[in-house]
Amino acid sequence: MRIYLDHNATTPLDPLVADRMTHALREVWGNASSVHHFGQQAKAALDEARGSVASLLGADASEVVFTAGGTESDNIAIRGAAEALEPSGRRHLITSAIEHEAVLNTMKALANRGWRVTVLAVDATGIVSSDRLREAMTDDTALVSVMHANNEIGTIQPIAELAAIAHERGALFHTDAVQSAGKLPLDVRVLGVDMASIAGHKVYGPKGTGALWLKRGVRLAPPSTGGRQERNRRAGTENVPALVGFGVATEVAKAKLSGEGERLTALRDRLEAGILAAVSGSERNGAASPRVPNTTNISIERVESESLLIGLDLAGIAVSSGSACSSGTLEPSHVLKAMGLSHGRTLGSIRFSLGASNTEADVDRVLEVLPPLVEKLRSLTTVGGRK
Ligand SMILES: Cc1ncc(COP(=O)(O)O)c(C=O)c1O
């Protein structure tokens, strides 16, 4: 039996989602823009899904724009706001150094086209400080985009506080909530943001689905031209069966939220404490709290994360590494680097992200396999001369 501990990368389909999608794939194939029965059937299914997504976010269904995932939601929010506000002379954007590439690379693309972009540093625990944001704000700041929960270390940013600072200067605030949706109670009105991105495949829904929550009254330049779907905010015929699955996934996530959060916190804490106690030179990365319940990121001295990942995979355990191999060398994670961790610590980091299928037996298995694996790797290798 393989153990999957990489739920921040993606999640399997919830069985109910798979059932409802299968039904929709066969039976609900109309174009939701068509006036006849088949179109109206598709539109009704889409409306129901939109209501479910809105309910997970504490939002109104009319404010939910369906997209093809977290990346597209982030792009529509950031590019759309930047372009819509360009005529007002606001040409400054702010983000944080630990964002997902969907945000960071979108900001870079806009910087290349003349927007001024400030990337806020984070502290050693991975938190963006309100004071830093306040100092960075100017009268021409159009948009601030700071993620809710970080995908690598799970830390949660003080979004309500940051959004209030942006609003004081008349800027919009977007949050990438891809990693917090389904893991934390999420209420966009309590967060006080103007836009929030989420993705279906992180909440046991299908890949290629997502949503951008857009507060009523916020105007964006449309990202692509075409039909009038999604109230002119995202052109193209909707993928109804997939969005039906996304809707069901958000219903299941909402129903399970509190119980599952407590269960995963207990499992995660047991795993983390077990590793820190059994593996010499291991340290948790990022703040212990506030943090999403399912994530722990741990650095292990004198081993490379890629070797650990492969060793664990051979033992049937799937995790993710905090460094990636690029052109034959290990590239440390930009998140851990931004937190100021030493090179060695960034290269030996692994992320465990737990989810629905995980049990205490899975945690015990990791605690059985990991310590001897670390010892074996240490006896075999010297990491870049940093033994
Ligand atoms: C924080 C965050 N934002 C955005 C994305 C991109 O989402 P998608 O894969 O649906 O495009 C991810 C996916 O890993 C993520 O973790």
**pLDDT tens sequence across 148-201:** 999 999 999 999 999 999 999 999 999 999 999 999 999 999 999 999 999 999
Q: pLDDT at position 385, please? A: 47
From 124, 266, 324, 325, active-site residue: 325
Instruction: Indicate whether residue 147 lines ligand 1 (CB < 6 A).
Output: yes
Separation CA 379–CA 135 (nearest Å) = 49
Q: pLDDT at position 382, please? A: 58
Between the alpha carbon of residue 87 and those of residues 5, 137, 225, 325, 347, the distances in Å are: 47, 19, 20, 42, 44
- Which atom of ligand 1 is nearest the CA belonging to 74? 4
Separation CA 82–CA 38 (nearest Å) = 38
CA of 78 to the centre of ligand 1 (A): 15
- Which atom of ligand 1 is nearest the CA belonging to 71? 11
- Which atom of ligand 1 is nearest the CA belonging to 72? 11
Between the alpha carbon of residue 319 and those of residues 54, 168, 307, 310, 370, the distances in Å are: 31, 42, 12, 9, 12
Instruction: Indicate whether residue 210 lines ligand 1 (CB < 6 A).
Output: yes
Q: Is 209 helix (H, G, I), strand (E, B) or coil?
A: coil
Q: pLDDT at position 141, please? A: 98
> Is this prediction's pTM over 0.75?
yes
Instruction: Indicate whether residue 199 lines ligand 1 (CB < 6 A).
Output: yes
Instruction: Indicate whether residue 56 lines ligand 1 (CB < 6 A).
Output: no
Separation CA 136–CA 146 (nearest Å) = 13
Residue 325 is among the residues annotated as catalytic for this protein: yes
- Residue stretches of the chain with pLDDT short of 50: 385-387
Q: pLDDT at position 332, please? A: 87
Q: pLDDT at position 325, please? A: 64
Between the alpha carbon of residue 274 and those of residues 128, 282, 283, 349, 363, the distances in Å are: 29, 11, 12, 16, 9
